[in-house]
């Protein structure tokens, strides 16, 4: 599997995990869990963008 594909897959997975934590945090009123989810979601978006850049470069 290409590096760009791995980055895209990991990025999407981090986004899903982050969104789940964010929603769970909101549901139970746990602000720390909500913020952790938001951060993880953003990290996933960045990782996915890195995969897109690598793909554009042919890696």
- Taking residue 1's Cβ as centre, other Cβ atoms within 10 Å add up to 6
Pair of tokens at residue 49: 């963008």
**pLDDT score recorded for residue 2:** 85
Q: What is the pLDDT along the chain (59 residues), one digit of tens a residue?
A: 788 899 999 999 999 999 999 999 999 999 999 999 999 999 999 999 999 998 888 86
- Taking residue 36's Cβ as centre, other Cβ atoms within 10 Å add up to 16
Calpha distance 7→12 (Å, rounded): 9
**pLDDT score recorded for residue 57:** 87
Residue with tokens 């760009």: 4
**pLDDT score recorded for residue 42:** 97
Return the domain boundaries, the chain.
3-57
């Amino acid at each position: 599997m290409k590096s760009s594909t791995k980055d895209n897959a990991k990025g999407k997975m981090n986004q899903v995990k982050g969104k789940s934590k964010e929603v769970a945090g909101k549901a139970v009123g746990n602000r720390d869990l909500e913020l952790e989810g938001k951060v993880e979601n953003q990290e996933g978006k960045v990782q996915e963008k890195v995969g897109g850049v690598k793909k554009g470069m042919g890696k």
